[in-house]
């Protein structure tokens, strides 16, 4: 029966569209991060009977979003735009408590000002930064 089979629309990060320039890439990363932030909120919320299965499904979607955003960020040539885009990805990682990934990405940011702003916004990143 077709009534009960729901085809979900493709996610923002599942589209095979390659951005043409740095501005378009930054916008695409922002869209991915906003969409993945909604997933992160659902992962943090307490669930009902099928909470574990739903959280593992959401975690897979979240990981796919992060992977695609990083692939797009890797293609960017403007250092400042890439730093801002990576900082959005780091904020998303901190939201889901993936601090190991966030700390690795923090090292990829070249601008000291952007790095200091992230550490000020997310003090959990400063703990590991002080240890290095």
Mean pLDDT calculated for residue range 55-65: 83
Helix (H) or strand (E) holding 67: helix 51-74
**Is the pLDDT reported for residue 131 higher than 50?**
no
Gap between the Cα atoms of 115 and 117, Å rounded: 5
Q: In 27-78, at which residue ranges do the beta strands (DSSP E only) sit?
A: none
Over pLDDT 70: what percentage of the chain?
A: 74
Q: Name residues whose C-beta falls within 8 Å of residue 73's C-beta, 6 or more positions apart in sequence.
A: 25, 29, 82, 85, 86, 89
Which band of pLDDT confidence, cut at 50, 70 and 90, is reported for residue 19?
A: confident
Q: What is the mean pLDDT of the chain?
A: 82
pTM, full prediction: 0.80
- Cβ neighbours around 12 below 10 Å, total: 17
DSSP string, 81-100: HHHHHHHHHHHHHHHTT-HH
Q: Name residues whose C-beta falls within 8 Å of residue 99's C-beta, 6 or more positions apart in sequence.
A: 93, 124, 125, 128
Indicate the burial class of 52 (C-beta count within 10 angstroms; 0-12, 13-18, 19 or more): exposed
**Is the pLDDT reported for residue 9 higher than 80?**
no
pLDDT one-digit tens code per residue, 84-109: 999 999 999 988 888 899 999 999 99
Q: Show the tokens assigned to 80.
A: 């400042």
């Amino acid at each position: 029966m077709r009534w009960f089979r729901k085809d979900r629309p493709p996610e923002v990060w599942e589209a095979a569209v390659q951005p043409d320039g740095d501005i378009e890439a930054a916008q695409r990363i922002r869209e991915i991060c906003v969409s993945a932030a909604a997933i992160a909120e659902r992962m943090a919320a307490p669930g009902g009977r099928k909470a574990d299965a739903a959280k593992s499904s959401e975690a897979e979607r979240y990981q796919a979003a992060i992977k695609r955003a990083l692939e797009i960020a890797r293609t960017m040539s403007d250092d400042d735009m890439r730093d801002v885009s990576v900082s959005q990805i780091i904020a998303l990682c901190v939201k889901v408590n993936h601090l190991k990934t966030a700390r690795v990405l923090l090292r990829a940011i070249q601008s000291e000002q952007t790095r200091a702003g992230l550490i000020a916004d997310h003090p959990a990143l400063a703990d590991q930064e002080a240890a290095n």
